[in-house]
Amino acid sequence: MGELTYLSFIYFGSTLLGALVGTYLKFPLFFLVIPLILGFYKKPRLALMILLFLLSNFLIVSNLERKGEFVGTVKTVQNGSSITEIYIFDGSSWRKIDFDVLIYKEEALGTIVYFTGELRRKSSYPLYYAKTDYYATATNYSSIRYAVFNHFEGFRRYTRLVEPFYENLFGNSSRDEDFINSGLFHIFCVSGMHVSILYLITSHIIGLITYRKNLRIILSLSFPTIFVIGSGMNIPSVRALIMLYLASMFKIFDYNINPVNTVSLVGTAMVLVNPEIVYSLSFYMTFFATIGVLISENNLLANIGGFLGSSPYVSLINPVNPFSIIATMLVAVPIEIMLFGLTVSYIFYTIRVYYLSSFVLYSLLPFVWFVRTVAGFFANFPKVPQHPFVTIAFASTFIIYVGLILEKKAPSNK
């Protein structure tokens, strides 16, 4: 296979393909002999690629429907719904179900849910949802996740009194037509951008306290971790947090790794832990947008790469505003300033210095006005209509873009 700069990306693709195929076709376990034979004949890369394909194929949930009595815990919060880890009562004991279940009720992270009814199949992540006959919840006061999430909810309600925009930016995404039509709705979604910016903010603050490298790296992960839990632990933010932990580990051990390989390693691990995730559009949007950003060589190309990486998936559900590249560049700095200000306000709120917390929120209002104005202006620009051919065109463009960047980066043979 030669020297591949982005070998982990190949493994990531193989793992994705295995899970996607596994929904329709399960390979028998004896196929594991294939990577063993390839390894014996000194084909380790091909052997690992096939092994990852088979593992994700074996792990993906099969087609089934179950009725009975269920209990579980909310692991991810979405708008109007919750993703849960579920146990089923088999007549004598509670047994864990090896896939996530969607409940069409928004509950706090860590909430204990109980229901009777049935699990039904759907076509996106999670692959099963609960059709309930009886439903009840209980607060899990011993859950750290619940306590952190509940505290964040309190802060979001507090910011709403000053400006509803703040709670959307700090983990409570809600629909806004101007932001959707302008292509700027992604700033409301808790994503890698949010987590990365908050990591940098925390790192600067920790840098004022200690100059010890390893301690600074470890402590800089504290607030991003709290933020991801407090915002509901959705897929993009969890992916970004895992990346930060992995990158921090590499820094501590002074090990250099290509960032695209870091993203791919995280993606591979997430698919193996939870293969159903391959049916989540947000999973693909965040991963390929991140890869588009990371392979780019400057800020302009990074915006183009991020747009092209996410646009095929956006075009599946909404028209695409190509001018959102420019709009994103215009609001990038104001968004960073607001996230920094919200972080400071949150710290004041946590230590109960409410007048300073409110002062910071009011000071950020000019930036809110600017971002709203940009969104309203670009919302009127023409959009590429939603169509399968448009999706194919965007995907092809992204592949060509990645190919051109990699060719430019490839070392010359001269």
Please state the domain extents for the chain: 7-59, 66-142, 147-409
Q: Do residues 168 and 184 touch, judged by C-beta distance below 8 A?
A: no
DSSP letters, 50-100, are HHHHHHHHHHSPPS--EEEEEEEEEEEEETTEEEEEEEEE-SSSEEEEEEE
What is d(CA 268, CA 394) in angstroms, rounded to the nearest whole number?
24
Which pLDDT value is given to residue 52?
93
What gap in Å lies between CA 183 and CA 121, rounded to an integer? Answer: 31
pTM for the whole structure: 0.79
In the numeric block, which tokens belong to residue 215? 């301690």
Closest of 145, 150, 152, 173 to residue 73, by C-alpha: 145
CB of 378 within 8 A of CB of 324? yes
DSSP secondary structure string, 124-167? SSSSEEEEEEEEEEE--TT-HHHHHHHHHHHHHHHHHTT-HHHH
Distances (CA, A) of 366 to 167, 374, 402: 16, 13, 38
CATH topology of domain 66-142: OB fold (Dihydrolipoamide Acetyltransferase, E2P) (2.40.50)
| Whole-angstrom distance, CA of residue 182 vs CA of residue 195 | 23
Q: Is residue 130 within 8 Å of residue 103, measured between CB atoms?
A: yes
Q: Which of 139, 201, 136, 185 is nearest to 331 (CA)?
A: 185
Neighbours of 86 (CB within 10 A): 24
Whose structure tokens read 């939870």? 274
Given a contact cutoff of 8 angstroms between Cβ atoms, the answer to whether 114 and 271 are in contact is no
Q: How many CA atoms lie within 13 A of 35 on its CB side?
A: 14
Q: Could you read off the pLDDT tens digit of each residue along the chain, which spans 414 residues?
A: 334 456 788 899 899 999 989 888 889 888 889 988 888 887 888 899 999 999 999 988 766 767 889 999 999 887 788 999 999 888 788 888 888 899 999 888 889 999 999 998 888 888 899 999 999 999 887 888 888 888 988 998 999 999 988 888 877 666 667 777 888 776 766 566 678 777 878 887 888 787 787 888 888 888 888 888 888 887 778 888 888 888 888 888 877 777 778 888 888 998 998 888 888 887 888 788 888 877 776 666 777 887 888 888 778 878 888 888 888 888 888 888 888 888 889 989 999 999 999 999 999 999 999 999 999 999 898 888 888 888 888 888 888 888 888 777 666 544
